[in-house]
Amino acid sequence: MCGRFTLTDPKSLVASIGSSLGLDEELVLPEGMDIARYNVAPSQPVLVMPNSDDRHLEAFRWGLVPFWADDVSIGYRMINARAETLAEKPAFRRYFAKRRCLVFADGFFEWRRGKGKNKVPMYIRRADGAPFAFAGLWAVWRKQKQPLTSCTIVTTTPTPLVAPIHDRMPVILPPARWDAWLDPEHIKDRDALAELQALLVPYEDELVASAVSRRVGSPQNDDPECLAPFEGDVDEVLDAADKRKRPVQQSLFDDL
């Protein structure tokens, strides 16, 4: 699953989004979303553009909490949704048809696995370092005094760069597909849904991957050091016999 990502320059991102969408008015960042993030984790607020009648930015909790859920803890199991089954899975098909969004980032993490439990965190981003948008779905949960708005990130099959690291990756939508994904209409026609699903393909532009600090393994760490180069030889670490007893790190792209 897409379990960690970055958004290191949200202020510059705002101008980029407005330009890509041809907006006349400047977008406004939600309160508290103007700080650099180097290790965004599930249950935390993420910067989102929902498919509303107007183009604006909001902060949603990461981890979809459907309207029927008994409590918010289900969100930890719904941080991702597989593109191939959005129209069929009961947990997601309602939101695929009527509540889609963009989740903004400028990089994401996955662990490259070696022998035993050996693994190295890899940071994947655009070659030019520019920000991008994940395809997402959103929901409103009203079983508490204050309604909770949450989201999930859609994943697809990996590009050749990502495939040796993991068998899934987030769907990165280029700006030319944003308006189609953000259509505010409740889409019920099967053909129209199929057209939307056709947008959810592996990213076509160039991505790069680099080994980074193991600090990113803890959501408590959220600073530039999370992106520091990995200390040591990556191949040696992955090939070494693992004699240490450590908690198992959940893979960051295991979907529902």
Q: What is the average per-residue pLDDT within 153-170?
A: 96
Closest by Cα among 227, 251, 168 to 203? 168
pLDDT digits (tens, 9 = 90+) for 97-135: 999 999 999 999 999 988 778 899 999 999 999 999 999
pTM check: above 0.85: yes
Q: Identify the band that residue 203 occupies on the pLDDT scale cut at 50, 70 and 90.
A: very high
- The reported pLDDT for the residue numbered 27 is 96
**Cβ density class 95-110: b for 16+ within 10 Å, e for less:** bbbbbbbbbbbbbbbb
pLDDT at 228 over 80: yes
pLDDT digits (tens, 9 = 90+) for 148-161: 999 999 999 999 99
Q: Identify the band that residue 90 occupies on the pLDDT scale cut at 50, 70 and 90.
A: very high
Q: Which of 58, 101, 110, 226 is catalytic?
A: 110
d(CA 18, CA 76): 31
| DSSP code for 75 | G
Domains of the chain plus CATH, in order, are 5-239 (3.90.1680.10)
Count the Cβ atoms, other than its own, within 10 Å of residue 191.
7
Which tokens in the block code for residue 195? 């057209």
% of the chain residues with pLDDT over 70: 93
Which tokens in the block code for residue 33? 């979303």
Q: What is the average per-residue pLDDT within 186-194?
A: 89
- The reported pLDDT for the residue numbered 218 is 97
Indicate if 231 belongs to the active site: no
Count the Cβ atoms, other than its own, within 10 Å of residue 204.
9
Which tokens in the block code for residue 127? 């070659």
pLDDT at 256 over 70: no
Which tokens in the block code for residue 154? 């859609």
| DSSP code for 103 | E
Which tokens in the block code for residue 252? 């960051």
pLDDT at 245 over 50: no
Closest by Cα among 46, 44, 159, 178 to 110? 159
Q: What is the average per-residue pLDDT within 71-97?
A: 96
- The reported pLDDT for the residue numbered 243 is 52
% of the chain residues with pLDDT over 90: 82
Indicate if 110 belongs to the active site: yes
pLDDT at 248 over 50: no
d(CA 203, CA 157): 10
d(CA 91, CA 82): 11
Q: Specify the range with the lowest mean pLDDT, choosing from 7-16, 149-158, 233-242.
A: 233-242
Closest by Cα among 165, 167, 169, 166 to 155? 169
Q: Specify the range with the lowest mean pLDDT, choosing from 58-67, 99-108, 230-239.
A: 230-239
Q: What is the average per-residue pLDDT within 23-31?
A: 93
Q: Which of 2, 101, 151, 226 is catalytic?
A: 2
pLDDT digits (tens, 9 = 90+) for 174-189: 999 999 999 998 888 8
Q: What is the average per-residue pLDDT within 211-224?
A: 97
Average pLDDT, the chain: 92
